[in-house]
Structure 1
């Protein structure tokens, strides 16, 4: 046994000759001494996936508290404190804190993704220490340990096989559904590391066989650790809605601060207001410009969208992602289980004398077909009751049973004498089985690999030499079936001479008799084609990004409507060799593409390239290897059924049914949510004008016209009467033609100039005129003249309170008209129906009841400075909603006529 001293090498080439690798790792075949293993554990650290940095919760909390809109509200609260309006300051502060806490509790995705990756490491490992087989915690593994691997175990370090062979499920790392055979007898010096036939990797599973392996990588130095580090390094950019809300917040802050700075000197010097009045004016102007209900309304509306999507099979983990879905311009989708049913089935069996389509009522199989089905059932490791094993082999057993061949697993195991495992390089496997005292070799594999090993072929009257005409027939059958994107397996047999089975597969797999071909297909989900068509109509690009073979992916894509026969197929190797400029041209020149054999870095590169071109990218995935790309994409979509925990943690959305159609439904829901966000933002912004204009009238008149509205009344509007109708607008049904519109660009703002004109000038302007008219009419009717004092203790104070109440109630009445006006963007209200949004009707009812309570309840009257107007005054409120709504209908009718003009 080699004793290890001195400093350990930092990194090794695991594919160098095994004696050199042991020399470099300073170990031997008998394992490490226990004391040396303990020293290496100190040097290398535990065999665990570590998180970079850690949760900086305080930064996230501070970021929410200093959001531009939050900062503006803090300023308003500070001014309220200076002015002595403590209740207002507290109310505004509570709004800011509630929103910050709500955002803070959202997940820290990178850390949770690494925690999920850690679940792929087993808790115990069996190693040789001091030459003795010893079970140790998996975290204590170190480079140089000799690891014992057995069937059913999860491998817990990257290692080089020393002895034996195992079948390994690598799907968590490379997305391949078929297990790969790894053997100490195989050596590879080139090609991708994951394809090396004598290496096994942390986080994968041993599905068969047993072996001894030399550990060369642990913890973050493994392939699994590399993906974990890549996932952590990939940041998450803010969503389009987050960026736009921040932009809007800065706009609001600029308008509010500019208005305050501009009109505060005007009120102090030009209008000769007192300091107290000037502060009151500044606070009122600031509070009137800031839509206090905007952030909670957006948050709650997105929350309702999340709940609705969850009921439809899409669990969204980040609120803003609901809106991001609506702006998706490119969907990069996996194939297996997303476009397809992940249920392989045999569709056709070809033999020289007969071809059978395995459909109900197929013809009776001939002897050659039965021989092929028997061989496929023998060369098989799956089971049917219950279904266990590889999906391909399960499909072969179902086909054999359908043709009337016994598929009993116990009998198969009893008769088996030897197995040559599936080799991804050779693309075939074979078994030696004893049948009626004779040894037979049964083999299956890719036709291009197995057919050259055949010298005979099964015919209608028996076996005969595989001559030119027969080879041409086989080639034609292969070409015809492959042209339909079917996965093909050739099946062959050989009667072995008496004696022990051959030790080497080269000696066994020769002079075979070709029985025929089996064509298999993983059918597309029936609902995917319609979903793809909806994407095309909506202007969304589709790209297939898969670890599967390109021809198979292309055929599935073609069947569901993605791409054509001319659609390029780009392999992972081709993408790796492709310069960035060429990739950009490829993505620009071709609307739809097939990316096959894609690595984690390739998927990440595709997402980055599309995002750099301004696209909003949704990417689906299910394996560990998909995690970095899922995190980089604007919307990472993980499979909830077949997906790994790692993919689910790294993703933004999880599909509970693994169905591509659900992604498209979520995109439609996202578009509807975005439209509805615009609707209630329009609704909220429309009230800024009737809230700001009264303060301007007060300032410009030098106080001769009293304040038509108090600050607390503004707060009651922004946080009370308008909140429920705004939320109800967030539940508006989709307008006709929603999925016929092209997706908006990444930079398109949620607030545009046309929307501001509509909100501030049309809806807000009409509302401001109406409420000012009601205010002045009430004052004049009560005997007020310009300049008369209306403060506490004056004869006109009660008249002023009644007039401000009319202003307050007038804004509420106009809100009702604005709510119905905001329900559509261009279509008239009759197109969606007056009573189709029942939540809005309940919201209006609450709005009226809340306003009535502020006016009639004595305690609230005192707090908000309101008074009960006379019936003649209240009658002035009745036409206001109809006037606002009517003005909006005329405005939109004008826009529709303009948009219908030729050339527009």
Structure 2
């Protein structure tokens, strides 16, 4: 074949058949075998994800890990083997947690294969035969009947079918595809009226079609290719943590380079200078930061799961909080994805028909169907019509003998049955598309049940009313009937489906979810823009969007798929940059992908919802891909970052709120963790600046115990803080906003850190000097002051832990006073504080732990002094925040 499949499938059918070297009798077996070797099997190609080794390698070269590698190397080089091994264990722990976090299955392309049937019926050498679907080749003629899954892209040669395209295009109702219907050329495969697409399902009718594309050349394969090319970008939090890691690395290395020569010049030996350098590195690296963030995000994931949102990537929780644009599907997300009765209209276009009309309408809907309401089998629309029939009348409908059934014909857009009642009266009952039924009706039922002629004025009035109802997103079904003469044989349907008596119309709708309008209002209050991207028609989508509150009080601007294709990137950017919320109708997978990419290029954080195969590329491209758990396809669920178990748009807004809370809580425990770097560094600086005259007040092993043991649970508890008031009234933070601000560093280092350092250093020197120590006195092993020196370092260690308690209480709020929310309201934090006190007690009073950590029991007076540290730290920070609130009130600044 000279042309590529998309170009070929859109050419005039005779040219397509000639180009394929095919005919109505299909290929012979030799031709099929030859083409199979040329084009390959009719399968979708899967793409392998990153290997476990690559994931581990990426974590071991994280900036924080690199810094710890340096510290471990220095420790081993200076014969501090225990310290080196401990640091290596920290590296392994952080890497292991990170790899477990990101190793979730990515099977989007593999899941697409489930949409290809295992077998299909083809015409080979004029004879129908069943073959493996993977052996089908371009030029084959396939036979498609009701219930069949389409196995390749094809052009219909004869017949007509109604096809469910929802999995591939997002179209919510089946569409008609028929031979000879392509009266004009179309630019897009999904718009061609005689094209069958691989992965769709025939809901009624039968046809024969010539295959034009197989495997990865089909529309389904193209979607798989888009999914394979789309990569998952790092989340805002992942980017921020990386920047924070480089900041920490720069500070640690800078401090080490600056103070190492100073230590040597102050009279330290090379070994002491090396210990000093290691201490600065370890003290500057918050070893617990990555595991604490991981555990906090995991807690957020668990909270969201209880609310109906399953998150597959931990960092996605925070990304949700920074979302400022939601691109939502319509069917099943904004709506309930089930057809229900909206209203009934008589033949005069009056709502709420009289009893005679209602009874006749129920009669037609009850008898003219192929569905079974009791068994729940049949097309969803048919089942909805049967439910409507039961609601229209109070008494049971009569049981009649069905004499003939004319199944729904996609070309005629009608279904009819011939029934005989208990009195021997024979009638044809017909239902179908309003324009099709109206064209075959010559009379109309009056409100009292009598019949009147259907004149031109009546037809014009009905056409206007029907157009108005369709514009409101309603699906309309017309009902009609007439008595027919009793015949010995069942006549052709064309002999019966004419001169009908129009009864009225049933309007069905996929109703809006109850929680959606409030959720959209919440999104608007939070500064989030909501666009609708759907495969449905513009009128239907705009009607649903308007009822949901999307686009404000006016009907939202509708951008059809072909119009979107005509827009270059510059004009699309202008359209998306406006304040108006938009409805993109008849959208293709490329359209959704392009919209997400252009929004991201403009700096937006995009959440994209979807449920069909066609949504997979855009779900992977978006910052947050949100799939439907109930009505969604496996492909969409695999490609998405979050799955809604309740398929409810409102759950997305709850997830955004949870994400914002998690982001705030991450900032709180970053303040908490960073505050302890200062009291951990100060003992080393005093040691270096004094030239060793003041002994080292803290050991590296004790620092590791603080960073990995005592501070982790309180930090995690800060990740469970309730949201501060007004959380969803703030605008979304920009993608460029840094998680660590200058104000946070001032609070962590200058307020909490320096206060803690002053208290800890004071406690250390008080213990030493109370024992009779003076600067320069020996405190090493074998000296008279050695036990007192160990008790003093224990005081430093315990003092830092005591200051941690005060810092944890202070860090609970950023804007309001702790007294406003209650000091005891976070029970997780209280348990965390109890845990760190218990760990500290074990490290100080358990003999075995004393040998490991170099500690000694403290006296009662020293414990009493430690009890004051948390209160002092909290009071200093409370005063600082009070001053900030006063300044914000005076200047009108926003807290940050």
2:194 aligned with 1:198: yes
Q: Residues 407 and 677 of structure 1: is their aligned pair in 2 closer, same or farther, counting only changes over 3 Å?
A: farther
For 2:9, what is the secondary structure of its paired residue? Answer: coil
2:788 aligned with 1:799: yes
* Aligned counterpart, 1:779: 768
Matches within 5 A, 1:50-449: 50-52=45-47, 54-106=49-101, 111-129=106-124, 132-191=127-186, 192-269=188-265, 271-352=266-347, 355-357=350-352, 365-404=354-393, 414-423=402-411, 428-431=413-416, 433-435=418-420, 438=426, 440=428, 442-446=430-434
Q: Residues 9 and 407 of structure 1: is their aligned pair in 2 closer, same or farther, counting only changes over 3 Å?
A: farther
* Aligned counterpart, 2:887: 898
Write the distance in 1 (CA, Å) between the matches of 2:492 and 2:220. Answer: 35
* 1:731 Cα deviation after fit: 1.1
2:699 aligned with 1:710: yes
Write the distance in 2 (CA, Å) between the matches of 1:327 and 1:553. Answer: 27
Q: Residues 370 and 119 of structure 1: is their aligned pair in 2 closer, same or farther, counting only changes over 3 Å?
A: same
Write the distance in 1 (CA, Å) between the matches of 2:10 and 2:577. Answer: 40
* Aligned counterpart, 1:360: none
* Aligned counterpart, 1:3: none
Q: Residues 97 and 140 of structure 1: is their aligned pair in 2 closer, same or farther, counting only changes over 3 Å?
A: farther
Write the distance in 2 (CA, Å) between the matches of 1:634 and 1:54. Answer: 19
| TM-score, scaled relative to structure 1 | 0.92
2:517 aligned with 1:532: no
Aligned 8 A contact 1:16 1:189 in 2: no
Write the distance in 2 (CA, Å) between the matches of 1:647 and 1:863. Answer: 53
Deviations 1:684-738 (A, max 9, x none): 0110010111111111111111111111111110001101111111111222222
Deviations 1:85-108 (A, max 9, x none): 222222222222233233334567
2:853 aligned with 1:864: yes
Matches within 5 A, 1:9-20: 11=5, 13-16=8-11, 18=13, 20=15
* Aligned counterpart, 1:554: 542
- RMSD of Structure 2 on Structure 1 (CA): 2.7
* 1:651 Cα deviation after fit: 0.5
Q: Residues 591 and 471 of structure 1: is their aligned pair in 2 closer, same or farther, counting only changes over 3 Å?
A: same
Q: Residues 47 and 410 of structure 1: is their aligned pair in 2 closer, same or farther, counting only changes over 3 Å?
A: farther
* 1:314 Cα deviation after fit: 0.6
- Unaligned 5+ runs, structure 2: none
Q: Residues 674 and 10 of structure 1: is their aligned pair in 2 closer, same or farther, counting only changes over 3 Å?
A: closer
Write the distance in 2 (CA, Å) between the matches of 1:446 and 1:103. Answer: 59
Write the distance in 2 (CA, Å) between the matches of 1:879 and 1:311. Answer: 41
Aligned 8 A contact 1:635 1:653 in 2: yes
* 1:610 Cα deviation after fit: 1.7
Write the distance in 2 (CA, Å) between the matches of 1:777 and 1:403. Answer: 90
* 1:451 Cα deviation after fit: 4.1
| TM-score, scaled relative to structure 2 | 0.93
Matches within 5 A, 1:2-13: 11=5, 13=8
* Aligned counterpart, 1:841: 830
Of residues 110-119 and 207-216 in structure 1, the stretch that sits farther from structure 2 once superposed is 207-216
Of residues 622-631 and 103-112 in structure 1, the stretch that sits farther from structure 2 once superposed is 103-112
* Aligned counterpart, 1:488: 476
Deviations 1:781-807 (A, max 9, x none): 111111122222222222211111100
Deviations 1:129-174 (A, max 9, x none): 4555443332222223332333323222222233443332211111
For 1:58, what is the secondary structure of its paired residue? Answer: helix
Aligned 8 A contact 2:177 2:410 in 1: no
Write the distance in 2 (CA, Å) between the matches of 1:55 and 1:497. Answer: 72
Q: Residues 502 and 334 of structure 1: is their aligned pair in 2 closer, same or farther, counting only changes over 3 Å?
A: farther
Identify which of 637, 646, 664 aligns with 2:653: 664
2:807 aligned with 1:825: no
* 1:639 Cα deviation after fit: 0.4
Deviations 1:260-282 (A, max 9, x none): 1111111112x121100110000
For 1:383, what is the secondary structure of its paired residue? Answer: coil
Write the distance in 2 (CA, Å) between the matches of 1:265 and 1:814. Answer: 31
Q: Residues 51 and 461 of structure 1: is their aligned pair in 2 closer, same or farther, counting only changes over 3 Å?
A: closer
Q: What is the count of residue pairs matched by the alignment?
A: 885
Of residues 389-398 and 303-312 in structure 1, the stretch that sits farther from structure 2 once superposed is 389-398
Q: Residues 201 and 110 of structure 1: is their aligned pair in 2 closer, same or farther, counting only changes over 3 Å?
A: farther
Aligned 8 A contact 1:377 1:407 in 2: no
2:443 aligned with 1:456: yes
Deviations 1:200-221 (A, max 9, x none): 2211122233333322211101
* 1:287 Cα deviation after fit: 0.3
* Aligned counterpart, 1:517: 505
For 1:213, what is the secondary structure of its paired residue? Answer: strand
Of residues 217-226 and 181-190 in structure 1, the stretch that sits farther from structure 2 once superposed is 181-190
* 1:439 Cα deviation after fit: 6.1
* Aligned counterpart, 1:889: 878
* 1:866 Cα deviation after fit: 1.1
* 1:818 Cα deviation after fit: 0.4
Write the distance in 2 (CA, Å) between the matches of 1:410 and 1:153. Answer: 32
* 1:82 Cα deviation after fit: 1.3
Aligned 8 A contact 2:329 2:533 in 1: yes
* Aligned counterpart, 1:541: 529
Write the distance in 2 (CA, Å) between the matches of 1:502 and 1:549. Answer: 38
Q: Residues 343 and 654 of structure 1: is their aligned pair in 2 closer, same or farther, counting only changes over 3 Å?
A: same
Q: Residues 872 and 899 of structure 1: is their aligned pair in 2 closer, same or farther, counting only changes over 3 Å?
A: same
Q: Residues 502 and 198 of structure 1: is their aligned pair in 2 closer, same or farther, counting only changes over 3 Å?
A: farther
Aligned 8 A contact 1:370 1:405 in 2: no
Of residues 245-254 and 36-45 in structure 1, the stretch that sits farther from structure 2 once superposed is 36-45
Of residues 372-381 and 325-334 in structure 1, the stretch that sits farther from structure 2 once superposed is 372-381
* 1:832 Cα deviation after fit: 1.7
* 1:199 Cα deviation after fit: 2.3
2:570 aligned with 1:581: yes
Aligned 8 A contact 1:15 1:188 in 2: no
Write the distance in 2 (CA, Å) between the matches of 1:665 and 1:480. Answer: 36
Aligned 8 A contact 1:543 1:592 in 2: yes
Write the distance in 1 (CA, Å) between the matches of 2:484 and 2:91. Answer: 81
Q: Residues 523 and 149 of structure 1: is their aligned pair in 2 closer, same or farther, counting only changes over 3 Å?
A: closer
* 1:565 Cα deviation after fit: 1.9
2:13 aligned with 1:38: no
Write the distance in 2 (CA, Å) between the matches of 1:642 and 1:283. Answer: 56
Write the distance in 1 (CA, Å) between the matches of 2:718 and 2:881. Answer: 18
* Aligned counterpart, 1:21: 16
Aligned 8 A contact 1:110 1:231 in 2: no
* 1:653 Cα deviation after fit: 0.4
